[in-house]
Amino acid sequence: MAIVTVNPATGKHLQRYRELTATQVDAVLTQATTAFVSWRRTPLATRARHLRAVARELRKRQFDFASLITAEMGKPIAQALAEVQKCALNCEFYAANATCFLADERPEGAPRHRYVTYQPLGPVLAIMPWNFPFWQVFRGAAPALMAGNTMVLKHASNVTGCALALQQIFECAGVPRGVFQTAVVNAARAEKMVSDERIAMITLTGSTAVGRKVAALAGAAMKRGVYELGGSDAYVILADADLARAAELCAESRLYNGGQSCVAAKRFIVVAKVRARFEKLFIAKLAERRSGDPLDATTQLGPLARASVRDELHEQVQRSVRQGARLLLGGKMPAGPGCYYPATVLADVRPGMAACDEELFGPVAAIMPAKNQADALRLANLTSYGLGAAVFTSDKARGEKIARDELHVGNAFVNEFVRSHATLPFGGVKCSGHGRELGAWGIREFTNTKVISVS
């Protein structure tokens, strides 16, 4: 079957690609297995040189790669460039630190003749989404490959050009054949790959529904996995918050990447005393964001990635209004070509409404009223998701206590919006998945923690 990519800003077809046959998939998996035999024995210093070469290739062609990201999924070009650059930094981070992260350890109190070593698992199947088509891949690929594994990428079909470009980057950087490969396959073929005995581990970023399905298949085959899934991040605005700063950061988090991010701010829970003022400031900040051609460097809000994403988002907005939410900004389907959707604000959102209970994957903000701090934290945790959350308050000690002890998420921030960093673990709890990416934690996820005893 053929895959046709579409420019979401214009609606025009970009490229046509053919899916791999069963025979071709078999060859990809065999090659990943063969490459693993030699790659796992390649010294860490040599792997690091390869990864630094990948970083150089990313930087050398960053404008080409950013333009491809923008063409296929609509990300504003300035954000696409930042994404490519972040991938290069991640490669360099693991090239510099993998030796330390994977060093043998003898825990205090352990017998003198025993120690722990970290060893690669084998070929890793990476099932990745379209919203950060380069970063999501490199977030797993850099540590997995530095740990000595090989990787096969099954990317979202609407960013197939990006998927093939990623394989080309590794090839141009001189990484040995078979260490990183892209498999252009449909979901049914990918499910068979999950169960294939040659695949040692799964890493998946995507919706909770897809994560459940893949995790069930991997679990049946007793395979490890890292799953970064959906999110409905709550940002709690307390009465003593710097409201102007909170409104600015909340607007930035809600609209970055068109609001198409699992870890974006989605529910804004505001205590009664400052709700009206925050709404006014927040709406003003959202309204001033410039929407337009994503290839224009001044554009801050581009189109959504696919027509189906926009249709689903608009249906959620309409359903929430019918359920009692107040539409304060946007909410109307624009005319003209492309998958554009305006910055939208829903107020008086409560549990039971689509805007509260479901993930809003686009530039729609749900403002939820809270009686006080206790009520705000109750509402923040009243979700099946647990990826990120933030609290805004002028009392940093109180904010830290809330972030540490009261917000049931994997990433809790005070007076700033949630985002990942190469040095720190990233992941969620509850229906937002399990396992961690990035930092020392991220590379050890892709290893067998093995005890050695010599007496």
**pLDDT digits 0-9 by tens, 167-196:** 999 999 999 999 999 999 999 999 999 999
Gyration radius from the chain CA atoms: 22
User: Do 216 and 98 fall into the same domain?
Assistant: yes
Query: Of 44, 104, 37, 126, whose CA–CA distance to 446 is shortest?
Result: 126
**Amino acid symbol at 14:** L
Q: Tell me which long-range contacts 83-89 makes (C-beta under 8 A, separation of at least 24).
A: 83/132, 83/134, 83/135, 84/58, 84/59, 84/134, 85/58, 85/59, 86/135, 87/55, 87/58, 87/134, 87/135, 87/137, 87/138, 87/142, 88/54, 88/55, 88/56, 88/58, 88/59, 88/62, 89/55, 89/422
Hey, what are 325's tokens? Answer: 């939410």
Q: Which residue has the tokens 């990317």?
A: 155
User: Do 278 and 390 fall into the same domain?
Assistant: yes
- pLDDT > 90? residue 138: yes
Distance CA 349, CA 344 (A): 13
User: Do 9 and 135 fall into the same domain?
Assistant: yes
Structural domain of residue 289, as residue ranges? 233-414
State how far the alpha carbon of 270 is from the alpha carbons of 352, 370, 393, 399, 417, in Å.
18, 6, 11, 15, 16
Q: Is residue 255 part of a domain?
A: yes
User: Do 122 and 240 fall into the same domain?
Assistant: no
Residue 301 DSSP one-character state = B
User: Do 52 and 17 fall into the same domain?
Assistant: yes
Q: Is residue 41 part of a domain?
A: yes
What mean pLDDT is reported for the chain? Answer: 97
Query: Of 285, 265, 287, 359, whose CA–CA distance to 320 is shortest?
Result: 359
Distance CA 257, CA 69 (A): 11
Distance CA 28, CA 108 (A): 43
User: Do 358 and 333 fall into the same domain?
Assistant: yes
Which tens digits make up the pLDDT trace of 301-312? Answer: 999 999 999 999
> Cβ of 397: how many Cβ atoms within 10 Å?
9
User: Do 201 and 258 fall into the same domain?
Assistant: no
Q: Tell me which long-range contacts 163-167 makes (C-beta under 8 A, separation of at least 24).
A: 163/133, 164/17, 165/65, 165/68, 166/134, 166/137
Q: Are strands 326-329 and 433-434 parallel, antiparallel or unpaired?
A: unpaired
- pLDDT > 80? residue 336: yes
Distance CA 396, CA 406 (A): 14
Q: Is residue 262 part of a domain?
A: yes
- What does the CA dihedral 74, 362, 130, 308 come to, rounded to 10 degrees? -90
- pLDDT > 90? residue 255: yes
- pLDDT > 80? residue 352: yes
User: Do 24 and 155 fall into the same domain?
Assistant: yes
User: Do 73 and 133 fall into the same domain?
Assistant: yes
Can you give the CATH number for the domain in which 211 is found?
3.40.605.10
Query: Of 122, 124, 127, whose CA–CA distance to 191 is shortest?
Result: 127
User: Do 176 and 266 fall into the same domain?
Assistant: no
Q: Is residue 392 part of a domain?
A: yes
pLDDT given for residue 1 in this prediction: 76
Distance CA 132, CA 256 (A): 11
> Cβ of 307: how many Cβ atoms within 10 Å?
14
Rounded mean pLDDT, 327-340: 96
Distance CA 199, CA 301 (A): 39
pLDDT given for residue 278 in this prediction: 98
Which tens digits make up the pLDDT trace of 375-422? Answer: 999 999 999 999 999 999 999 999 999 999 999 999 999 999 999 999
Number of domains in the chain: 2
Are 426 and 420 in contact by the 8 Å Cβ rule? The answer is: yes
Distance CA 391, CA 413 (A): 7
Can you give the CATH number for the domain in which 316 is found?
3.40.309.10
Instruction: Assign 296 a pLDDT band (cuts: 50, 70, 90).
Output: very high
Residues with a catalytic annotation lie at 228, 262
Q: Is residue 422 part of a domain?
A: no
User: Do 183 and 269 fall into the same domain?
Assistant: no
Are 110 and 139 in contact by the 8 Å Cβ rule? The answer is: no
Which tens digits make up the pLDDT trace of 63-98? Answer: 999 999 999 999 999 999 999 999 999 999 999 999
User: Do 253 and 202 fall into the same domain?
Assistant: no
Residue 229 DSSP one-character state = -
Are 355 and 325 in contact by the 8 Å Cβ rule? The answer is: yes
Are 428 and 388 in contact by the 8 Å Cβ rule? The answer is: yes
Distance CA 432, CA 211 (A): 9
Q: If you write DSSP's letter for every residue of 425-454 in order, what string do you get?
A: -B--SGGGEES-BSHHHHHHTTEEEEEEE-
Q: Is residue 306 part of a domain?
A: yes
Percent of the chain that is helix, strand, coil (3-state, to 5): 45, 20, 35
Q: Is residue 421 part of a domain?
A: no
Q: Is residue 354 part of a domain?
A: yes
Distance CA 199, CA 193 (A): 7
